Amino acid sequence: MRVIIILIIFELAQTWPTCHAKVPPMPDIRSLAFGSCIVAVAVLLPAVVHAQAGAPPTSTPAPADTLTPPAVLDLPTIEVVGRDLGAVLRQTGTVHTLSLRDVEALRPVSTEDALRRLPGINTKSEEETSIISNIGLRGLSAGEAKSLLLEDGVPVAPGLLIGNDRYFNPRIQRVERVEVLKGSSSLRYGPSTIGGVVNFITRTPEEGTRLSARTGSFGMNELMMEAGSRSSGGTAYAGVVGTHSRSDGFMDKGYRMNDLMVKAGLSLGDRHRLGLKLSWYENDANISYRGHFLDDFLAGASFNPAPDDVYLTGRRAVDLNHRFQLGDRAVLSSVAYWSNLHRDYWRYSVDTDASNAAGRWVYTDALTGNNRSFDRFGLDSRLKFEHDLLGVASDAEFGVRGFHEESDDRRIRATRAEDRMGPNDRHRIDSATSLAIHLHNRVQLTDRIALTPGVRMEAYEQEREVLTGDDPPPSTSTSNTEFLPGLGGTFTVSPAVQLYGGIYRAFSPASNGVALDGMTDQLLEAERSTNLEVGVRGSQGALQYELAVFRMDFQNQVVTGNTDPRLSRSNAGATLHQGAEVSLGYGLTEALALSGNVTWVPTSRFESGENAGNRIPYTPRVMANLALDIESGPFRSSLLVHHRGEQFGDETNLREIPDLAEDGIWGGLMPSYTTLDLTGEWRAVGSVSVFGAVKNLTDERFITGLRQGIYVGPERSFELGMQYTL
């Protein structure tokens, strides 16, 4: 019943007054059908759960005082790190996490808003909710994708091999925990784990119903609902999380977003557990790749530089998890997954001469729709087991993962008069299939020393088919196999000090558009990096700390040009990235805590080519965070400081930001900035709590990125919300 109530309220949220963003509704039959299926499952699953709860017992029940079923069935999910301290100490690389309590203290509006608080992560936000993913780890450009994004252990980037992998970013409203793993331990995942792995673990609502709402600056209104129900014995579970959010947006970059997730689980005896997750997401946003001209930025302009461009996204996904306890020393975890994402980006062409004269973008009536859809299905199975090979205590993981992905890319030529209707002058199908296996074995040499050798092999094939043109080639393809060894270790010096480190090979595949440039197999290998990391972590009393130094050495990055006249690309590039991360936390008193982190990347440069010696764009030398947390009785508050150092916008290291349209406004040196946020929560009475936030307290005006103009960071904003648990 709770879930039904939640879905009714979620539907009523659609009748809120619409925002002023110029984003008309875009009904999609497939989205409606899939959404209806989710609603049906959400309604029916609790009935199944309660039916189980009311079924006659098959054996004599235990006394009531001995029955203590958990609030939530432990649903099987692939976690990158794990939740206990022992799981962290087994990792041979750097580990950073955000718990649900951490996320609530930050009051983020996007996953990137949360990630930038962690060491080693730089973000390049294009608008405040980060619909598009732009993150860089450890001196890797935030404008490229060389780190793997997962949700509940499942890849969420739409094109891991075929390209365009930044088009989806999980919504922070559904996230309860964030795991970031770097170093040799990340070899268990792939592809593209050069920087590391980020895993967003989604919420599993406890029994009951929780409603929350918040409102804030830029006309932002959000309603979120969670409900969970379980059988009396705790063997069956169903839950739903729904969010409706809309806003006029900073700089009138409005959006309307719906996100619905249904979870269910079933325990089949003592050895088998099943988990099901269905999700449906849509977001219609008034955003574009165009930003402000320099004079408008300096004058404090706050208008949308592309008021008629729209970015429409939707995603449906199914995850089916199974955990099989093979015995006291072995467990097999598997997940089968499918997802479909569509992204329709409609943008108007510009008049370059008129734009130069006006000092801002001037648009014509020509409209182009770059409309793409992505499908992926896959299976990931991991066997973890303990053994005593050769008399040495060990624990191993053997995994197999395979997936197939495909994109349908269409370019529609339309006009302002015939909105979003016109001929398709470019139609191509990109696809890729990947199979990977990995084996890692942690050997406990002594009570204090452990070594973890590992290897990953990943084979993949890419294909492109062009369906438009006078005489197009039917298709072209390429294939590659990567062999990735690694070795890591840990040394427990004392209960308060652990040393760790590792060396491993990582890779990032060339996307279809690069590997098959000009419908010709460019005979490219993947971009490979030899990564080295050494660190120390631990805790002593109220102090927690971690320090790591790292080095990533690329030797065969893809560049334009080839000595073979038949080819346009080659593996001739080289870059070097090295630096250090440090994080500290200290409990000053029972009510007061101080924490912070600093990332220092003195080296992130091109080692070859015409830009040799230049710094990689979107890689600041220094990033830092500081948090002061206060908690006393029903009240808690956090003062958050974030600093990002200066960074270049392009490979040439251009220092002056261009001020004319024909220059593209891609490059320039973006100044450093520091922002302050203040958040607070008061648990008023019983099940009611009130929370709020002031973001960018000092109203700092700063640049987040450069891409056909200047992307401006959000000005000072306010949020106020309330949460009620039934």
Q: What contacts 528, CB < 8 A, 6 or more positions away?
A: 482, 505, 506, 507, 554, 555, 556
**Paired sense of beta strands 673-685 and 669-670, if any:** unpaired
State the pTM of this model. 0.89
Selected residue with higher pLDDT from 424 and 46: 424
C-beta neighbour count of 494 within 10 angstroms = 9
117: which 2 tokens? 């608080």
Q: What are phi and psi of 290, to 5 degrees?
A: -95, 140
- Are 573 and 611 spatial neighbours (Cβ–Cβ below 8 Å)? no
- The amino acid present at 676, given as its one-letter code, is L
Could you tell me which of 576, 500, 590 has the C-alpha nearest to residue 537? 500
Could you tell me which of 10, 33, 419, 26 has the C-alpha nearest to residue 255? 26
Could you tell me which of 43, 39, 38, 22 has the C-alpha nearest to residue 419? 22
Selected residue with higher pLDDT from 124 and 321: 321
Where b means 16+ CB within 10 Å and e means fewer, 254-293 reads bbbbbbbbbbbbbbeeeeebbbbbbbbbbbbbbbbbbbbb
Confidence of residue 636 (pLDDT cuts 50, 70, 90): very high
- Are 211 and 242 spatial neighbours (Cβ–Cβ below 8 Å)? no
Q: Is pLDDT of 51 > 70?
A: no
Confidence of residue 522 (pLDDT cuts 50, 70, 90): confident
- Mean pLDDT score of the chain: 86
Tens of pLDDT, residue by residue over 127-165, are 888 888 888 888 888 877 788 999 999 999 888 999 877
Confidence of residue 559 (pLDDT cuts 50, 70, 90): low
Confidence of residue 34 (pLDDT cuts 50, 70, 90): very low
Burial (Cβ within 10 Å: 0-12, 13-18, ≥19) of residue 146: buried
For 141-150, 430-439, 593-602, which range has the lowest pLDDT when averaged over its residues? 141-150
Q: Is the dihedral of CA 277, 283, 289, 293 positive or negative?
A: negative
For 390-404, 418-432, 512-526, which range has the lowest pLDDT when averaged over its residues? 512-526
Distance between CA atoms of residues 690 and 694, nearest Å: 14
3-state DSSP assignment of residue 194: coil
Q: How far apart are the first and last CA of the chain?
A: 12
User: Which whole number is the average pLDDT over 671-699?
Assistant: 94
pLDDT, residue 264, reads: 95
Tens of pLDDT, residue by residue over 480-521, are 999 999 999 999 999 999 999 999 999 888 888 888 877 777
For 109-149, give the DSSP string: SSHHHHHTTSTTEEE--SSTT-SS--EEETTS-TTS--SEE
pLDDT, residue 228, reads: 93
Distance between CA atoms of residues 260 and 205, nearest Å: 13
Confidence of residue 246 (pLDDT cuts 50, 70, 90): very high
Residue 696: C-alpha distances to residues 115, 247, 719 (Å): 17, 18, 12
Distance between CA atoms of residues 11 and 567, nearest Å: 54
Residue 506: C-alpha distances to residues 187, 201, 530, 571, 576 (Å): 7, 24, 6, 15, 14
Confidence of residue 255 (pLDDT cuts 50, 70, 90): very high
C-beta neighbour count of 452 within 10 angstroms = 26
pLDDT, residue 222, reads: 97
For 188-197, 243-252, 514-523, 711-720, which range has the lowest pLDDT when averaged over its residues? 514-523
Question: pLDDT over 70 for what percent of the chain?
Answer: 87
DSSP state of 15: G
Q: What contacts 54, CB < 8 A, 6 or more positions away?
A: none
Could you tell me which of 129, 128, 133, 137 has the C-alpha nearest to residue 160? 133
pLDDT, residue 86, reads: 83
Confidence of residue 13 (pLDDT cuts 50, 70, 90): very low
Confidence of residue 470 (pLDDT cuts 50, 70, 90): low
Residue 626: C-alpha distances to residues 96, 426, 676 (Å): 15, 49, 9
3-state DSSP assignment of residue 162: coil
Could you tell me which of 454, 515, 460 has the C-alpha nearest to residue 482? 460
User: Which whole number is the average pLDDT over 322-336?
Assistant: 94
For 231-265, give the DSSP string: -TTSSEEEEEEEEEEEE--GGG--EEEEEEEEEEE
Tens of pLDDT, residue by residue over 61-96, are 333 333 344 445 678 888 888 887 788 889 999 999
User: Which whole number is the average pLDDT over 705-723?
Assistant: 93
pLDDT, residue 572, reads: 62
- The amino acid present at 167, given as its one-letter code, is Y
pLDDT, residue 117, reads: 93
